[in-house]
Structure 1
Amino acid sequence: MMGEREENGIPLNSTKLKLGEGLWSIGEQTGVVGILNVTPDSFSDGGEYADVELAVLKGKDLADQGADIVDIGGESTRPGYEEVSIDEEISRVVPVISALSTQESFPPISIDTTKLDVARASLDAGAGIVNDVWGFVRDPEMAGLVAEHKASCILMHNARLGWRSNSILDSIKRFWEESILRAEKAGVEEDRIILDPGIGFTDTRDQDMAILRGLSELRAFGFPLMIGASRKRITGVPMNLSLKDRLESTLATSAFAAAVGVDFVRVHDVRENVRAVRMMDMIRKK
């Protein structure tokens, strides 16, 4: 966890994470990040919430189901996705963020984007977290924007930028070191950083499985950890499950993550995953 620093620069021993303007107590329970895709082409729910009114209703529903963070995305990052323009992405996400951020007691809002201008518009509209699937590596200016707004960030390892080592876990750690260095040089506070190992942004399902098996080691890296396996190929391919049949396998990844101390799970089915991780949290507590 965050706090005092070892020689390798990894912070340890803090108990609080800043999420936008709020605080999250590390280790008390597993946080659930609800996915809200306002896109026509996301792999699982593309087109379902492309309408602003429907998206706002879905965001409220995610909060009612127990989401601790609502993660809003306006561009799909599925394999083979087509990039949309900055203006188009802003037009998709900003009205939704503006409407939800004014709701009383609404959880922190994260903007899932790779574009600097989209992140800026979203932070101005009320988001408090930037979820960058390139981990500040592809666009280092994103780190300065996050620092300027005193926002929090989710820095994802992305194997599409190449592996740093023959060892999957070592490669992820090296990527994170680069991401964290960029963040800290830009002035992002270390207690505003969450790390994501990038399940599904790998080359094979064996690599995804290696990440899941290595979650304890990755959590020991020293920062709060989030995983996003919900409905992805790792929850379907091993048992030949279609998208609509991946709830139980997703719940298994969430429960396992909670059991080994992962701090957040990013999911589509919030209510079911809340129940799964809360039960695991209770089992773990002595």
Structure 2
Amino acid sequence: MIKRLVWSLAGGTRLELGEKSLLMGILNVTPDSFSDGGEHSSLAAAVARAESMFAAGACIVDVGGESTRPGFEPVSETEEIDRVVPVIREIRSRNSDCILSVDTTKFGVAEAALEAGANIINDVNGFLLAPGLAELAAKHEAGVVLMRNGREGLIDGSVLDRIRASWEASLEIAFEAGVKEAAIVLDPGIGFGTTRQDDLEILRGLDVLRTFGFPLLLGASRKRITAQPSGLPMELRLEPTIATTVTGIAAGVELFRVHDVAENARAAGLADLIYRGGDLNE
């Protein structure tokens, strides 16, 4: 039986999870992201990319203005706002019903993005480095994605133990600030302070992580694990990325953050029939 959940988002939006896989399209408006830096740095290019991802099957578009690749160069809050807010505002003006996420770790950026029309805060630090984001999310009744970021080095133990410990710390901050349980999705943080073996263990342990009790978002698209086992270059990581998506669907993961929406959507359509149930319309 499919477990259906409702994700509560800013703007009164409610998104049903569980019946089918939902894709979050990645829109990096940065010059230095690890796989697509500079491709969508103009307003026109960014908006066109968002529209194409929605048309290809994305349920959410995640707009980010600062790279989080290993060794990334931080940008100022003002510069990040200048990158993401015009994009969010323009996408929202063209499609009042779309769902938008802001990929940021900064309070000011998240606040400006929510005021411009974003529904979700996607924080790769899971509120641990900027607890004020939790109060902001509660105030706006925004959806949140709380990622475990292995770069913070919380505790020893297996990678699954470390993820659970980080999630517990993030959830404590969220609940103390008044964020509702229905607003929260968790991300295990593939590629963030993890080894390739860690990432493999995360993918193998997704069914275990789902017992934590919250919907999950998997973000493995084009990351180092998708280069394995033969060291594939970035341009050849589509099919391995799809393999991680299907692995997640088999484990019951609800959301997938991807660069290549159309291809992942086609794979997810059949994988949903296999693993989530349903009948063919013949």
TM-score by length of 1: 0.93
Instruction: Give 1:35's aligned residue.
Output: 26
Matched, 1:75 2:103: no
Please give the alpha-carbon distance, in whole angstroms, between the structure 2 residues aligned to 1:256 and 1:230. 13
Q: Which amino acid aligns with 2:181?
A: E
Q: Does 1:224 align with 2:215?
A: yes
- 1:51 matched to 2:45: no
Q: Please name the residue that 1:183 is paired with.
A: 174
Q: Does 1:122 align with 2:113?
A: yes
How far the C-alpha of 1:14 sits from its partner, in A, is 6.8
- Paired residues, number: 274
Contact 2:4 2:19 in 1 (8 A): no
* Amino acid of the structure 2 residue aligned with 1:131: N
Give the Cα separation in 1 of the matches to 2:129 and 2:229. Answer: 31
Summarize the alignment of residues 1-286 of structure 1 with structure 2, pairs less than 5 Å apart. 15-20=5-10, 21-104=12-95, 106-284=97-275, 285=277
Amino acid in the other structure paired with 2:121 = V
For structure 1, which runs of at least 5 residues remain unmatched after alignment?
1-12
Alignment partners' CA distance in 1, 2:32 and 2:19 = 36
Identity of aligned residues (%): 51
Mapped to 1, the partners of 2:155 and 2:213 lie a distance apart of: 19
Quick check: 2:184–2:215 contact (8 Å CA) kept in 1? yes
Distance across 2 between alignment mates of 1:23 and 1:175: 26
The 8 Å contact of residues 100 and 106 in structure 1, kept in 2 or not, is answered as no
Separation in 2, partners of 1:171, 1:193: 19
What CA distance in whole angstroms lies between the structure 2 residues aligned with 1:264 and 1:203?
Answer: 21
Q: Deviations over 1:209-244 (max 9, x none)?
A: 111100000011100000100000010142210000
Q: 4+ residue runs of structure 1 moved beyond 4 angstroms?
A: none
Contact 2:9 2:141 in 1 (8 A): no
CA contact (8 A) 2:60 2:98 kept: yes
Paired residues of 2:64 and 2:104 also in contact (CA < 8 A): yes
Structure 2 CA distance for aligned equivalents of residues 92 and 38 of structure 1 = 6
Compute the RMSD of aligned alpha carbons: 1.2
Letter in 2 for 1:15: L
Q: In structure 2, what is the Cα distance between the partners aligned to 1:189 and 1:82?
A: 33
Between 1:177-186 and 1:101-110, the stretch displaced more is 101-110
Residues 233-266 of structure 1: CA deviation (Å, up to 9, x unaligned): 0101422100000000000000110111001010
Gaps of 5+ in 2: none
Encode CA deviations 1:81-100: one digit per residue, 9 max, x unaligned.
00001111001000000011
Q: What amino acid does structure 1 have at the position aligned with 2:84? A: V
Deviation at 1:171, TM superposition (A): 1.2
Deviation at 1:106, TM superposition (A): 4.3
TM-score by length of 2: 0.94
